Amino acid sequence: MNLRYIECVQTVISSGSISSAARSMYVSQSAVSQMIQRIEKELGAFIFNRETDPISLTFAGEKYLNAAKEILAINARLQNEIYEISSEHRGRLRLGISLQRGMQLLPLIIPEFVRRYPHVQIELIEKGSYLLEKALHEGDCDIALITTEPKYPDISYTLLENEEVLLIAGKNSSFAMQHSNGDVISIKSVEDETFVSLQHGHSVRVIQDDLFRKNNIQPEILLETESLESAKNIAASGAALMLCPNVYLKYPKHFKDSIKYFHVQDLEYRRNFYFCHRMDMDLNRFMEGFFSIVKEKISLLRIGELL
């Protein structure tokens, strides 16, 4: 398969039309059409349903794209192997991490990584864990640090940390005054309280909504935000309660002194933080080095040496 042809097919599908793909690739529409025609001639089958909007793949097209992804993975592995042959400390690392985890971990990890591997280029991909897992599955990043439950059989998931979702309240709020730090709280007891929530699409919001629904409660939502930091600060001010993973109570350093946290009784949900990569891509020396640094820094965070 021609790598340029593979790029063409992927771009057509992601952009939804041949004309949009041509603009993205900075070529004429006829050039894209000619590449597609060559592919279809070689295959002896149509790869696109041109009658749908957006354009979609035929069954033959799906087979082609699946094979193409395998070829791209092989090519990426070859490139990394060539990098290692030329120099064990040179290459490119496409790193996926969520914005919130990046704020916590990257200032600790990147300086050490750069010190060890000064000639490795880092391409940072900051998205939610769901999208990063999908990008890893599709070969669009090399490794990802994500909070998820494993769902793809072609991805290796190495557990880094277990998370607990806690209830937090401002230290001087009326709710906090009635309880001691670390108390176990029944979620039904907060039915008449006000919450600050992350917007739909965040895993914590999924947990919150499911928890409320299963316990048949509908607390008032003060506001919804995309920013976990904003939500934390609102909760710390005493304006509302919040459900928050325990790992995000560790920073900034003064934050934990401004809140009380409580364990939620009978909470069945656990969030797991993983180091992930595709199984068909062997980790090279600097990727293994990155993994080693991640484990080291998370371990230090856990025991409080970096707090």
Note the pLDDT tens digit of each residue in 160-177: 988 889 999 999 999 999
On the question of a cis peptide bond just before residue 150, with omega within 30 degrees of 0, the verdict is no
305 CB burial (10 A radius; 0-12, 13-18, 19+): exposed
pLDDT of residue 306: 43
C-alpha pair distances (Å), 229 with each of 24, 172, 196, 211, 248: 35, 19, 11, 22, 9
| 28 pLDDT above the threshold of 80 | yes
Task: Tell whether pTM > 0.75.
Answer: no
Q: Is the pLDDT of residue 252 over 80?
A: no
Domains, the chain, ordered by start = 3-70 (1.10.10.10), 87-160+271-303 (3.40.190.10), 165-264 (3.40.190.290)
User: Average model confidence (pLDDT) for the chain?
Assistant: 88
